[in-house]
Amino acid sequence: MPSTRALIHAPWSASKVSAALRCPRLFHFRYVEKLREPDVMPEARIGKAVHAALEAALQGTATAEAAAVARAALTDEAEQRRFDALATGVDPFLARIGRFRRGRRIQRQLVEYSLAVREDLSATQFYAGDAYYRGVLDTGYLYDEDNLAIVDHKTGVRMAPAIMRDQLEGYLVLAASAFRQVRRFWLGIHWVAERAVEWAEPVDATQVTNRLIPTVLDNIEAAALAVDDGPRTNPGPWCDRCSYRTHCPASHQQRWEPVYDEYEDED
């Protein structure tokens, strides 16, 4: 059973857990006060536009049109150029998916697919009042009766998949609840800039039950505990990418206060 403090902040998601563990003040700004983000990072805008282009193209929109519509959301020229470079990865991804589809019996394609579970891990609607944990799959394929392949698009610099493990394993917990017939889960990361898809070892349904579900629930409890003392700040390297820097006194101190030179007066 979840603790009361975990239930108070439900519904959880992988990014919400991550925010709580990283900085309770950031969690408070985003999920308690629900403040509009004053400093959205260019990377976030570009990533959102690339995701939109991939989503539309996977659903049948011509690539050029999908890219043009997504690009229109960006107003900064430098961001548009970065988007253009990333959008060249859409067609190679479609070709890869085409090859994947030809080799399997595809039952269903999932694009930007919302999933949620209740506190007892039964499936519910994403916006339902009883949702306890939820997430959105970028792309998925139910195939060969009992397999599910999930692909998550990443538009940033390639990094070790272990860094994203909590997010990706959270998807498996959600998918296992929604698609009970699936016995084997495959997780791939689509590195858009490199036009590469990196696959992890497949995970079977028993591993999801025995290992991943307890891990996700433990992480939620740890996150709830981290924010239980209120919105304390936890400045660190992540402040450079925080959308609430201008609201945060810790960030101001860390970034802009002049450093006192203890030897200055001795000269």
Q: How far is CA 247 from CA 25, 94, 185, 256, in A?
A: 10, 41, 41, 14
When asked if residue 239 is in the footprint of ligand SF4 (CB under 6 A), the reply is yes
When asked if residue 244 is in the footprint of ligand SF4 (CB under 6 A), the reply is yes
Residue (24 or 89) nearer to ligand SF4, CB: 24
Cα four-point dihedral sign 152, 157, 159, 163:
negative
Distance separating alpha carbons of residues 143 and 147, to the nearest angstrom: 5
Contact stretch for ligand SF4 (CB under 6 A) within 54-62, 129-137, 156-164, 239-247: 239-247
* Binding characters for ligand SF4, 10-49, by CB under 6 A (x = yes): -------------x-xx-----------------------
Distance separating alpha carbons of residues 63 and 235, to the nearest angstrom: 41
CB of 76 to ligand SF4, least distance (A): 23
Residue 149 backbone phi and psi in degrees, to 5: -105, 125
When asked if residue 250 is in the footprint of ligand SF4 (CB under 6 A), the reply is yes
If one counts every other C-beta atom within 10 angstroms of the C-beta of residue 261, the result is: 9
Position 59, amino acid: Q
Contact stretch for ligand SF4 (CB under 6 A) within 81-89, 116-124, 195-203, 233-241: 233-241
Residue (61 or 234) nearer to ligand SF4, CB: 234
Contact stretch for ligand SF4 (CB under 6 A) within 86-94, 142-150, 219-227, 248-256: 248-256
When asked if residue 248 is in the footprint of ligand SF4 (CB under 6 A), the reply is yes
Residue (37 or 84) nearer to ligand SF4, CB: 37
Residue (202 or 235) nearer to ligand SF4, CB: 235
Residue (40 or 64) nearer to ligand SF4, CB: 40
Residue (129 or 230) nearer to ligand SF4, CB: 230
Position 201, amino acid: E
CB of 39 to ligand SF4, least distance (A): 10
Residue (155 or 251) nearer to ligand SF4, CB: 251
CB of 49 to ligand SF4, least distance (A): 24
Alpha-carbon Rg for the chain in angstroms:
21
When asked if residue 233 is in the footprint of ligand SF4 (CB under 6 A), the reply is yes
Binding positions for ligand SF4, rule: CB under 6 A: 23, 25-26, 233-235, 238-239, 242, 244-245, 248, 250-251
